[in-house]
Chain A
Amino acid sequence: MKADPKTSAVYLYAIGRQAELRKLLSGGAVPAALEDGTSVALVTEGDLAAVVSEVPLSRFGEERFEQQLKSPAWAADKLMRHEKLAEYFSSKMCVVPLHFGVMYSTPERIREMLAARKERMIQILDRLNGREEWGLNIHADRETLFEHMTELSPKLAEMQKRAKASSPGQAYLLGRKLEGLKAAESKTEIKRVALEIRNALAAESTDVKDLPVREHELKQTPAVVGKLSFLVDRKKLKIFQKTAEKEAAQFAGFGFGLELTGPWPPYNFSE
């Protein structure tokens, strides 16, 4: 790669072991690079190599890139190209996939980075070996949840029991108090259930990360109440999925839904 740093930068997709990467790159059906007319190449340093392609500063340079990303079609196309390349490599070998938007000014800078972080990269590669990322979205339908609050919440269940055993007057008062507590209790219960699901799946995976829930996702129906990412051993994937199904079945009646997505390149576990 002979990128001219005055007009272009070097975009990074992934880092892996040089020998394996070379074999894969010469093997053929490599997905397209970020920019048409450029090709996917390697920048090598010792045993390691970075999967890269050249990008023009006229679109990827300081400020320009930010402007370009305001165009949804452009951003979507670039994100998808990055994703396809990361998927291609991580499905066939062990790589450290990089998040979207990593660029270096020259191949030399990448070599320096690889040399300086060699030990760390190898540690990460060893950790990611044989594993993949799976996303989990936890949804809650607030209406259904509300209807079933007295069954789900131990606190409200107890109050209802007391109301049933009370005189009509007392039962009425307890009933009203119970209705008033439902909103606050549903928040507590959402957290409790999400944590229970998280723990069950964390036990069947290598690592777990909490992902931020976007504003509009909180407002939609059913609302997204939790987003997680798990690093899962491919050999344990069946158990992991079975556990998710079990948790989904356990809480479905209360308005909870689970959505499993993947496999993803392990972006969230590459640092």
Chain B
Amino acid sequence: MITNDNKGDAILSGFQDDELSVFEMLDHILAKGVVISGEITISVADIDLVYLGVNVLAGSIDTIQQILQARDAGK
């Protein structure tokens, strides 16, 4: 079993650190149950509470992973 309690600064230092941390964080920090995905309407003037879903960030997450995989392949 791996215990990973060092969630580190991976993404801030150009994805240098522990790649696990980036994805692990997403499992927690992103809303699931109350997601307004794809069609997020932040009408900042009226509506207020806005949760961003996994879907909105999916593209970015994939890219981050590709960067990490490419880096690992080059090791």
Contacts and interface: CB of A to CB of B under 8 A. Distances in A.
A261 interface: yes
A80 B9 CA distance: 8
Given A77-B12, A79-B25, A79-B29, A62 B1 contact: no
Contact of B28 (A63, A101, A133, A258): A133
A258 B51 CA distance: 30
Contact of A245 (B1, B43, B63): B1
A207 interface: no
Interface of A: 5, 9, 57, 60-63, 65-66, 69-72, 75-77, 79-80, 82-83, 86-87, 99-105, 109, 113, 133, 135, 211-212, 214, 216, 227, 229, 241, 244-245, 248-249, 257-265, 267-268, 271
B41 A135 contact: no
A155 to B, nearest CB: 28
A223 B9 CA distance: 25
Given A101-B50, A101-B51, A214-B54, 14 more contacts: A5-B45, A69-B52, A69-B60, A75-B57, A76-B12, A76-B60, A79-B29, A99-B31, A100-B30, A102-B51, A259-B4, A261-B20, A265-B28, A267-B28
Given A77-B12, A135-B24, A103 B59 contact: no
Nearest to B26: A79
Contact of A227 (B27, B41, B56): B27
B44 interface: yes
Contact of A261 (B24, B31, B56): B24
B29 A100 contact: yes
Contacts of A100: 29-31, 52
Interface of B: 1-5, 7, 9, 11-12, 15, 20, 22, 24-34, 40-46, 48-52, 54, 56-57, 59-65, 67
A82 B26 CA distance: 11
The main secondary structure of chain A at its interface with chain B is: mixed
Contacts of A99: 29-31, 34, 51-52
B1 A257 contact: yes
Across the A-B interface, the 9 shortest Cβ-Cβ residue pairs:
A101-B52, A76-B11, A99-B31, A248-B1, A72-B60, A72-B63, A75-B60, A62-B42, A264-B28
